[in-house]
Chain A
Amino acid sequence: GQNIDQPTEMTATEGAIVQINCTYQTSGFNGLFWYQQHAGEAPTFLSYNVLDGLEEKGRFSSFLSRSKGYSYLLLKELQMKDSASYLCAVRGGDYKLSFGAGTTVTVRA
């Protein structure tokens, strides 16, 4: 089976930086995804990593270390609209996505 761990909750101030860590143990690896989910809405795609290193997309960056089974999502210049749940998902050797329970980020003024 798959085991994906991420913190339950994080709080940060508007304009600050927050880093959400994700560790995983999976049977095979075919990529790691980060999704954003606002309360009561569907998840939406943020980033994809399949090779080690940092992927930058505007205010959001995602890092992957396959040897350590570790990823993080970095949110810079936080805005109130970034208050949401952030889901780490790993695509295993069977090409199925396994999701972590999600990290709820609260941005305070």
Chain B
Amino acid sequence: IAGITQAPTSQILAAGRRMTLRCTQDMRHNAMYWYRQDLGLGLRLIHYSNTAGTTGKGEVPDGYSVSRANTDDFPLTLASAVPSQTSVYFCASSAERGGYNEQFFGPGTRLTVL
């Protein structure tokens, strides 16, 4: 059982390019999340999905989009990358959005935008 996988592990991207970060979970969790982690700022929520077919905006959604076509996959797309999007991106999932349901995190994608 893999849990949550993310791809790529790391990427260097030219500004203005389009990029999709992939996230797949095999735990049949309903809720999935995308965070970015920057030094001194902690984890910040970009977008989330409470169940397949629905998505919502987090704290820092600008410049990012997501889709949730099925339970397992939750890709994050940067339509036109900018240097301020240089960060470590973590995908997470939880069985449900509330209750005693902790979030499980993927290994992260380190993205550098030049």
Contact = CB atoms under 8 A, between A and B. Distances in A.
Contacts of B103: 33, 45, 97
Interface range, B side: 20 to 34
Given A101-B41, A102-B42, A48 B100 contact: yes
A4 B44 CA distance: 12
Given A33-B102, A43-B90, A48-B100, A99 B107 contact: no
A100 to B, nearest CB: 6
A95 B44 CA distance: 14
Q: Is the interface of B mostly helix, strand, loop or mixed?
A: loop
A17 B35 CA distance: 31
A95 B98 contact: yes
A101 to B, nearest CB: 4
Interface in A28-64: 30-31, 33, 41-45, 48, 50
B81 to A, nearest CB: 23
Contacts of B33: 97
B13 interface: no
A50 B106 CA distance: 25
Contact of B108 (A4, A42, A89, A101): A42
Q: Which 9 A-B pairs have the closest CB atoms?
A: A42-B105, A45-B102, A101-B42, A99-B43, A99-B42, A95-B97, A43-B105, A95-B98, A42-B107
Interface of A: 4, 30-31, 33, 41-45, 48, 50, 87, 89, 91, 95-102
